Amino acid sequence: MQPNNEKPIIGITTGDLNGIGMEVIIKTFSDNRMLDLCTPVIFTSNKVVNYYRRIVPEHPFNFSSTKDLTKLNPKQINIFNCWEEEVPIQPGVLTDAGGKYAIRSLMVATQCLKDGQLDAIVTAPIHKSNTNIPDFPFTGHTPYFKEKFGAKDVLMMLYSGGFRVALATEHIPISKVSAAITKELLQTKLAILKESLMKDFGIDKPRIAVLGLNPHAGDEGQIGNEEQTVIKPVIDNQRQNGSLVFGPYGADAFFARGIYTEFDAVLAMYHDQGLVAFKAIAQGEGVNYTAGLPIIRTSPDHGTGFDIAGKNIAEPESFREAVFQAIQLLEQRQQYADNTANPMRRGKIAKDEETEKIA
C-alpha cells in the first residue's frame, strides 16, 4: 500500500483481447484528470495497446512501459508488459488466444497485488468459453480471487450509488439453485454483506432486504416451500441477533414498486433474479465488487461486448466508475480501520475514572 499522501496504484487487467476491454480502458484513461486520482498500471503489452489506439484515434493515450513496479511514472499511464510475442487480435471474435492472454494479464496483476505492489485491481471482462483452461479452472473472476486470497467465502455485489444487489448464488444453472440455497449459505452471505456495508461503505446499521426464491416469495408455501423452510428462518435468526434483515420479498413487486430504495442492499437468490433488475435500473453505470476479500477488486457491470468490439462505440462509463469506486473503497476501508483501531470499552473507561477518584 502507498503512504496516505500518495496516489493509490491501481492495477488494470486487459480482459479478453477481442472484447471491448482495451477500448474502454483507453477511453477512461485518455482523460488526464484520472491521473490526479491514481497511478494506473495496465497489464497487457505495448502491441495490444497500439492496436486499439488506432481504433480510437480521437482519444489521446500516451504511456510509459515498465517491467518494474518500483519505477512507475505517477504522471503517466503505465503499461506492464506481460508478454512480448505477437498475439492475433480479432475484435468481436471468440478465440483461444483472446482468452489465454486475458488470463495471463489477470494472473500477473493478481500476483503483483498479492506482493503488495498494487493497492487495488480493476478487471476488464473475460469470457467463460475461452478461459476454461488448465491454468484457470474457475467460472469467473469471483471464485478465482476467492482462492488466490484464501477467503472462506466471497460475495458478488453490483452497485450504483446507494442501490446494491448481492447474489446468494452466482454462475450456476437454474436447475441447481434450489439445492444450493441452504441456511448455512445464506447466513454466510448475509454476514459478508453486513460486514462489507459497514467496512466498505461506512453504513453503521445497514438495512438488508432478502428476496424469495419462488414467484411471490412462495405465497405462504403455495408455490414452493424454500421461503418457509430455509429463507425465513435465517432472516428470523438474523433479526434475533440484532441485524436489520427483512423479507423474503417477491422479486417482481420489490423492484417494480421501488421498495429497494428503502434498503442499503438486497440479497438475491440467483444471478438473473438480481441482475436483470439491477442493470435495467443502473443504466450502464453499475460496478461489480467482490465483497469478503482482504483486497479491493472492482469491475464494470458489463461483459466482453463482442457484438460492438472494434467499432469504437463502447461506452466507458461503467469501467470509469469501477476505477473511481476502487479508489473510494480504499479510502473507506482506511477510514474504517482508523475509526476502529484500539477500541476501548465504555465500562473500562468508567472503571478507570472511578479508580482515579478513589486515588
List, edge to edge, every strand of the sheet that includes 39-44.
63-66, 77-81, 39-44, 9-13, 120-123, 297-300, 287-291, 155-160, 163-167, 265-268, 207-211, 244-249
Q: Please list the residue range(s) of the chain that carry CATH number 3.40.718.10.
A: 1-151+293-359, 153-292
CATH classification (class only), 1-151+293-359: alpha beta
Whole-number pLDDT of residue 92: 96
Lowest mean pLDDT among 1-5, 241-245, 266-270: 1-5
**Has residue 34 got a pLDDT over 60?**
yes
The mean pLDDT of 268-297, rounded to a whole number, is 94
Whole-number pLDDT of residue 134: 87
The mean pLDDT of 134-140, rounded to a whole number, is 88
Tell me the average pLDDT of the chain.
Answer: 92
**Has residue 76 got a pLDDT over 60?**
yes
**Has residue 3 got a pLDDT over 90?**
no
Strand-strand pairing, 207-211 and 265-268: parallel
Distance CA 19, CA 303 (A): 8
DSSP for 148-207, please give it.
HTT-S--EEEEEETTEEEEESS-SS-GGGHHHH--HHHHHHHHHHHHHHHHHTT--SS-E
Quick: pLDDT tens for 92-121: 999 999 999 999 999 999 999 999 999 999
Task: Grade residue 132 by pLDDT with cuts at 50, 70 and 90.
Answer: confident
Distance CA 248, CA 61 (A): 49
Whole-number pLDDT of residue 349: 53
CATH topology of domain 153-292: Isopropylmalate Dehydrogenase (3.40.718)
Q: Three-state DSSP class for 331?
A: helix
Whole-number pLDDT of residue 356: 57
The mean pLDDT of 21-45, rounded to a whole number, is 96
Quick: pLDDT tens for 143-197: 999 999 999 999 999 999 999 999 999 989 999 999 999 999 999 999 999 999 9
**Has residue 281 got a pLDDT over 70?**
yes
Task: Grade residue 4 by pLDDT with cuts at 50, 70 and 90.
Answer: very low
